[in-house]
Structure 1
Amino acid sequence: MAHVTRRDRGRVGLPWLLGTLVLVGALVAAVAFGWTTGRLNPLVCGGACGPEAVATPAGLTLDTVPERTAPDPVVTRRPDPDAVRAAVGGLLDDPDLGGRVGVSVLALDGTSLLDRDASATFVPASTTKLLTAYATLSRLDPTARFSTSTVLDGEQVVLVGGGDPYLASTRPSRPTRVDRADLRTLARRTADALRAAGRTTVRIGYDAGLFTGPAVNPTWESSYVADQVVTPVSALWADQGERDGVRSTTPAQDATARFAGYLRDAGIRVRGDATRADPGSSAQPLAVVRSATVAQVVDAMLVRSDNEAAEVLLRHVGIAAGGAGSVADGTRAVVATLRENDVPVPGLRLRDGSGLSRANRIAPATLAGVLRAASARAATAPLLADLPVGGFTGTLANRFGTDSAGRGLVRAKTGTLTGVHSLAGYVTDRDGTPLVFAVMTDDTEDVNPFVTQAAVDDVAAALAGCSCGG
């Protein structure tokens, strides 16, 4: 089986975004200079710093999306294609990159600075999540939240799944921004509502019908579920279907059984086993818990490279585009979103939202193009800030070491499967010039994966170390 690395809306003027990116780059560079040895990690994080260590400045939470009516003036140097080619050209012939390498480097205005088989398609692995994230932020309100609720249908309490990818069993002792909704809280609220209605004995049912189609993608490796790589996708689950480190094959039923236990703890007698239910229009609302915002969920999905969250978001994209909550509707909606926003899609073939499928084919031009397109609108621009930081956060925490020019300056999404290595994001060069890039290779099964990974990172680091402004 293939090796998989786990947890692997108004327009806004481009000048404002350029100013933002240049400022972010300068700030990150300053942090990297003072923290490059990692000696402050024990003081700041109590050990190695994880993805939640980068705090959001006050006033810049993602509960609301800022609207800009007057772009800030900014002066930036125009990137020089010759300088870009000189910086990375020789690195692309490294045999450690295997026999197939594709690269696209763009200026934020869309100017192509480097194109090496940029329109050829590659197995993208988890860089597929960039397309899912972009479509999610384009199709859904970034401030919206997913609801998990209970209704009373006759004598039956029905637990209704709303597709919250981070619904938990209980609230964790050290919650992150996406740890907002949990079954224990919902059970307590439901028990209160039942007692207020004069009921202390109920039956239990569950409704996970928001999503349709196969819960296990038919283009995934057949062993993915059995080998605990991924949970069957459901609109209702708790802890992404995991319990004691084991993934459930029936996550909706298991979540409902756990909910029933919490309901009993809250003083309600539950009769019989949980059954699938389809509550009618006369069902009475009882209680609800709501997720983190869509924007926050996208952030966590990218930083953690969360396969389950990506697959849930893909189905929400399908629903938002007028289809059903299926993989097919979701992938069609993602492709349509890219086309509607003039993202190049040569040879694009999309079979899932996470990149677990080896049937996916994406071109470097598409990955770089979607990042450039994300920079043009307030609703999608947070995608760039959501990317892991080289040497510091998420899937890049252990890449771009202290001697790398890319440390703290590269922000990118990784993609890794056996023989497949991708990296797509943006970097600010030595002049503070932002560059969007995508590097893809999918013919490296005979090369040590860490060696290929380092060769891919060298390309991004070379851009960071380049004085590429004209």
Structure 2
Amino acid sequence: MLAAVLVLVLVAVGLVVARPGPVGRWLGDGSAGPASTGVPEPVPVAVLATADVGAPMPSAEGLRAVLDPLVGDAALGGRVNLAVADVLTGQSLFERGGGEGTVPASVTKLLTAVAVLTARGPGYRIPTRAVAGSEPGEVVIVGGGDPALAAGAKGFYPGAASLKDLANQVRTALGGIAPTRVVVDASLYPGPVHEPGWDEDIPTHGYGAAVTALMLDGARKDPKAGQGWAERVPQPELTAGRAFARLLGVPETAVRRGTAPAAPTGTPAGTVEPGAELGVVHSPPLIRLVDIMISESDNIVAEALARQVALARDQPASFAGAAAAMTDVLSELGLPTDGMRLADGSGLSRTNLVSPVLLTELLALAASPDRPELGGVFSGLPVGGWSGTLRDRYGSAPGTAAGVGTVRAKTGTLTRVHAIAGVVTTTEGRLLAFAVLTDQVPPDGGEPARVALDRIAAALATCGCH
């Protein structure tokens, strides 16, 4: 619900202009229509600063005068690359190392969002199927890559598909045949379950997990766990299979891995042939999963969405296949992918390289009326001092107060890596896209680096900068 409200917040931001698409909605264009989230729009709350299509753009000289002293902060380390662009026109306004590939950490999720919304579309829902096995009473649950799937009506993710619903469908389809065994088919993802470039502690430290085609609640052990850190199960597909077995009245000892039989060419009425579909449930629409991924920086959802790009492009649903498919999609969109290197969809890998200019051009493209399906990228962007991963940032540290309610951005953090990319409304009302990436932060310099990044974004909010 919070993410839906954030979309509506953008509707409240000001001047009437005759421009369709997401930017039109931000600027108060009544002809643009509601955001395509499928969620009814309540009365918007004015949180973000008013944008003005007629406001002057900052100059390169003005931006340099404001940003150079902040970029030189020792807390950011020896390599700080940044880019600033005008959202309305897409014009580049300022760069410093803007074309250099830099470790992006979770800012990678912006690329994943644009790629999956392009390849699959905002309304696509990921299926989880049950089919008849090769023996009477054998039920095969076939993972389709839905990371939000829940065991019952209330899982970790709002609006998630339910194994309970799937089990009810199976019992109806089987008629008088009692389920006797559950086969878990997670073969859609060929592996590995962990990306080789991840730090050694990521699979077990609560922000990552084994990436499998069948899982419950993002592989969380407890679906009631809060956002962020959570203990994950080591074999998500088997955990889901055992939960499904319990719902069917099958003992957990009768759960095994396997693959589904091929679908029959024709099934006579009243019979259940091997491979016949017994039931199917679907994830929330991708626009909702994108929103969750960005607002809470959900790594498991990110990896699932990256694999949807691979599947849409007939690539293996693996880390490598997803990276290749995402690269193809971003290149086809005309984005500057030279020097880009992707290894995963979450940004947990240190082998990812992304340039600030790629990020600012991506944000400008997502705001374009020519690509309305990409506008969902903005719905989950946290607001400075108010929501998501920025809820506790801006305002408390000196030099950051101007970012409260004016900065919407995705952050990225690994040891010695800190990044931020998003949009900011200047004091004169111009909407800017910005990206700042740094991957040589001094050891144990996390909090000072975050504050230094926040000062840069807050300084853009004070422009001017002529």
Class of the TM-score when normalised by the shorter of the 2 chains: 0.7 to 0.9
Q: Are 2:126 and 2:146, in contact at CA under 8 Å, matched by a contact in 1?
A: yes
In the alignment, residue 414 of structure 2 is paired with which amino acid?
L
Correspondence list, 1:35-434, <5 A: 60=35, 62-63=37-38, 75-81=53-59, 82-108=61-87, 109-153=89-133, 154-155=135-136, 156-172=138-154, 178-194=158-174, 197-244=175-222, 246-264=231-249, 272-282=254-264, 283-376=275-368, 377-401=371-395, 404-434=401-431
Distance 1:324 1:405 in 2: 45
Distance 2:453 2:435 in 1: 10
Give 3-state SS (helix, strand or coil) of 1:466's partner: coil
In the alignment, residue 27 of structure 2 is paired with which amino acid?
V
Q: Are 1:96 and 1:447, in contact at CA under 8 Å, matched by a contact in 2?
A: no
C-alpha deviation, 1:271, in angstroms: 7.7
Distance 2:254 2:463 in 1: 67
Candidates 3, 22, 30, aligned match of 2:27: 22
Distance 1:16 1:224 in 2: 39
Q: Rate the CA distance shift 1:123–1:201 in 2: closer, same or farther, 3 A.
A: closer
In the alignment, residue 62 of structure 1 is paired with which amino acid?
T
Deviations 1:240-287 (A, max 9, x none): 2221453222111111011101111xxx68883333232221222112
Q: Rate the CA distance shift 1:248–1:271 in 2: closer, same or farther, 3 A.
A: closer
C-alpha deviation, 1:77, in angstroms: 2.8
C-alpha deviation, 1:363, in angstroms: 1.1
Please report the RMSD computed on the Cα atoms of aligned residues, expressed in angstroms: 2.5
Deviations 1:33-62 (A, max 9, x none): xxxxxxxxxxxxxxxxxxxxxxxxx96451
What is the TM-score of this pair, normalised by structure 1?
A: 0.82
- Unaligned stretches of 5+ residues in structure 1: 1-12, 25-57, 66-73
Distance 1:440 1:388 in 2: 18
Q: Is 1:455 the equivalent of 2:424?
A: no
C-alpha deviation, 1:462, in angstroms: 0.8
Q: Rate the CA distance shift 1:213–1:275 in 2: closer, same or farther, 3 A.
A: closer
Distance 1:320 1:64 in 2: 26
Deviations 1:281-304 (A, max 9, x none): 122211221110011111101111
Q: Are 2:336 and 2:358, in contact at CA under 8 Å, matched by a contact in 1?
A: yes
C-alpha deviation, 1:113, in angstroms: 1.0
Give 3-state SS (helix, strand or coil) of 2:255's partner: strand
Distance 2:420 2:198 in 1: 22
Q: Rate the CA distance shift 1:414–1:446 in 2: closer, same or farther, 3 A.
A: same
Q: Are 2:128 and 2:146, in contact at CA under 8 Å, matched by a contact in 1?
A: yes
Q: Are 1:127 and 1:413, in contact at CA under 8 Å, matched by a contact in 2?
A: yes
Identity over aligned residues, as a percent?
Answer: 37
In the alignment, residue 170 of structure 1 is paired with which amino acid?
G
Distance 1:93 1:189 in 2: 61
Distance 1:270 1:78 in 2: 66
Give 3-state SS (helix, strand or coil) of 2:241's partner: helix
Distance 2:23 2:207 in 1: 39
In the alignment, residue 72 of structure 2 is paired with which amino acid?
D
Q: Are 2:22 and 2:372, in contact at CA under 8 Å, matched by a contact in 1?
A: no
Q: Rate the CA distance shift 1:356–1:269 in 2: closer, same or farther, 3 A.
A: closer
Give 3-state SS (helix, strand or coil) of 1:415's partner: strand
What is the TM-score of this pair, normalised by structure 2?
A: 0.82
- Unaligned stretches of 5+ residues in structure 2: 1-17, 41-51, 223-229, 265-274
Aligned residue in 1 for 2:47: none
Give 3-state SS (helix, strand or coil) of 1:138's partner: helix
In the alignment, residue 399 of structure 1 is paired with which amino acid?
R
Distance 1:86 1:19 in 2: 31
Q: Are 1:162 and 1:236, in contact at CA under 8 Å, matched by a contact in 2?
A: yes
In the alignment, residue 20 of structure 1 is paired with which amino acid?
R
| Equivalenced residues, count | 410
C-alpha deviation, 1:189, in angstroms: 2.6
Q: Are 1:201 and 1:271, in contact at CA under 8 Å, matched by a contact in 2?
A: no
C-alpha deviation, 1:171, in angstroms: 2.4
Q: Are 2:420 and 2:435, in contact at CA under 8 Å, matched by a contact in 1?
A: yes
In the alignment, residue 105 of structure 1 is paired with which amino acid?
V
Q: Rate the CA distance shift 1:17–1:225 in 2: closer, same or farther, 3 A.
A: closer
In the alignment, residue 452 of structure 2 is paired with which amino acid?
A
Distance 2:34 2:166 in 1: 29
Q: Are 1:374 and 1:383, in contact at CA under 8 Å, matched by a contact in 2?
A: yes
Distance 2:356 2:260 in 1: 44
Deviations 1:300-354 (A, max 9, x none): 0111101111111111101111212121121111112221112112311111111
Q: Are 2:83 and 2:94, in contact at CA under 8 Å, matched by a contact in 1?
A: yes
